[in-house]
C-alpha cells in the first residue's frame, strides 16, 4: 500500500462544536457528492468519558449483536484532477485534548499536510434569511482569504472547542489552520439549507473542491414558506424576533460591530427570567 500524501485536510467533530448538526449534515453532503476511501480509524479510548459519550450497541432477540466504540475516522478523496484531500470525522474528545491535538498534528505531518480547515457551527442571534460564517485564522494570509470569501472575523471569549487546541498545536508545527463557523439562527431546530449551501461553497473555495449546492437552495426555498408560517403562528417567538430586530437596529445606529458572537442568556432572560448556558 502506497503511503498517503495529502496537502489539505478538512476536520470535523460532532457534539458541542456542531450546533444543530450543521457540520454533520455538511459532511454527509461531502461524502454524497464524491467518493472517499477510509485511510485510518482511531479508537478514542482515553479521549472520552462515559458521562459525555457512550458506546452504541445493537441488541436483537435479547442478545448483543454489535458494540460501536467512539472512534475518529480519516477519509481520503482523490479527484481525477487536482490533489488528494483528507476528511476527518468523529465525536469531539471529552478529555486529554492536548495529547489528542498532538496526535492529530503528528498524523497530518506524516501525510505531509500543509493546510487544515476545521468546521464548526454555533447558535447566534440572527434571522433565518441571514448568512453568517465566521473564521478564526493564524496569519494575515489566511485573514485575506477568508475575508475575500465574505467570512467575518469575530471577537469571542468563553468556552472553547477542540479546534483551538489543534490550531495551537498546528501553529507550533508550521501547518496552516483555519477554523470556519456557521452561525445558525437560535430558533431553528434543523440545519438551514441556505446556510449550508454557503458554508459548503466557502469550504470548497478554500480547498479547491467544486461542490454543487443548488439542491440545497431549492430545498430551502421549499421550506421557507412553511417556516415563516410557523413563526407567524408562534406569538412568543415572533415577539422575540421583533426584539432582536430592534436590538440590531440600535447596534447599527450606534455603529457597534455585529460581527461578534453574542450570548443568548440576557436576550432570553427578558422573556422568562431563566438562566441558560451558552449554546454550542
Three-state SS at 203: helix
- Which pLDDT does position 272 carry in this prediction? 38
Percent over 70 (pLDDT), the chain: 88
- Which pLDDT does position 80 carry in this prediction? 74
101 confidence band (pLDDT: 50, 70, 90): very high
Cα separation, 241 vs 231, whole angstroms: 9
**Beta strands at 71-77 and 63-68: parallel, antiparallel or unpaired:** unpaired
CATH number for 8-272 (one of 3.30.70.1140, 3.30.2350.10, 3.40.50.10900, 1.20.272.10): it is: 3.40.50.10900
pLDDT higher at 271 or 131: 131
| Residue that the C-alpha cell 479510548 belongs to | 45
Percent over 90 (pLDDT), the chain: 60
Cα separation, 81 vs 143, whole angstroms: 27
Cα separation, 44 vs 93, whole angstroms: 8
Model pTM score:
0.83
- Which pLDDT does position 169 carry in this prediction? 95
Cα separation, 166 vs 264, whole angstroms: 27
Question: Is 173 within 8 Å of 105 (Cβ atoms)?
Answer: yes
Candidate from 2-6, 102-106, 201-205 with smallest mean pLDDT? 2-6
Of 229, 202, 200, give the one whose Cα is nearest residue 215. 200
Whole-number CA gyration radius for the chain: 20
- Which pLDDT does position 225 carry in this prediction? 82
| Residue 274 predicted with pLDDT over 70 | no
| Residue 32 predicted with pLDDT over 80 | yes
Delimit the domains of the chain by residue range.
Answer: 8-272
Amino acid at each position: 500500500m502506497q503511503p498517503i500524501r495529502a496537502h489539505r485536510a478538512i476536520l470535523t467533530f460532532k457534539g458541542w462544536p456542531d450546533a444543530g448538526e450543521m457540520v454533520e449534515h455538511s459532511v454527509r453532503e461531502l461524502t454524497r457528492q464524491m467518493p472517499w476511501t477510509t485511510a485510518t480509524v482511531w479508537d478514542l479510548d482515553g479521549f472520552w468519558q462515559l458521562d459525555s459519550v457512550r458506546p452504541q450497541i445493537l441488541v436483537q432477540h435479547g442478545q448483543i449483536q454489535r458494540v460501536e466504540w467512539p472512534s475518529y475516522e480519516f477519509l481520503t478523496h482523490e479527484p481525477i484532477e487536482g490533489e488528494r484531500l483528507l476528511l476527518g470525522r468523529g465525536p469531539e474528545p471529552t478529555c486529554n485534548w492536548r495529547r489528542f491535538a498532538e496526535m492529530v498534528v503528528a498524523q497530518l505531518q506524516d501525510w505531509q499536510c500543509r493546510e487544515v480547515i476545521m468546521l464548526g457551527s454555533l447558535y447566534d442571534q440572527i434571522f433565518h434569511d441571514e448568512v453568517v460564517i465566521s473564521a478564526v485564522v493564524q496569519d494575515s494570509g489566511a485573514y485575506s482569504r477568508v475575508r475575500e470569501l465574505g467570512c467575518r472575523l469575530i471577537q469571542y471569549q468563553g468556552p472553547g472547542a477542540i479546534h483551538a487546541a489543534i490550531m495551537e498545536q498546528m501553529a507550533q508545527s508550521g501547518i496552516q489552520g483555519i477554523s470556519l463557523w456557521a452561525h445558525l439562527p437560535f430558533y431553528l431546530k434543523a440545519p438551514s439549507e441556505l446556510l449550508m449551501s454557503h458554508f459548503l461553497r466557502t469550504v470548497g473555495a478554500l480547498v479547491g473542491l467544486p461542490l454543487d449546492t443548488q439542491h440545497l437552495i431549492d430545498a430551502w426555498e421549499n421550506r421557507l414558506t412553511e417556516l415563516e408560517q410557523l413563526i407567524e403562528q408562534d406569538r412568543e417567538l415572533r415577539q422575540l424576533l421583533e426584539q432582536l430586530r430592534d436590538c440590531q437596529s440600535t447596534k447599527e445606529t450606534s455603529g457597534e460591530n455585529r460581527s461578534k458572537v453574542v450570548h443568548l442568556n440576557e436576550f432570553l432572560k427578558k422573556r422568562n427570567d431563566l438562566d441558560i448556558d451558552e449554546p454550542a
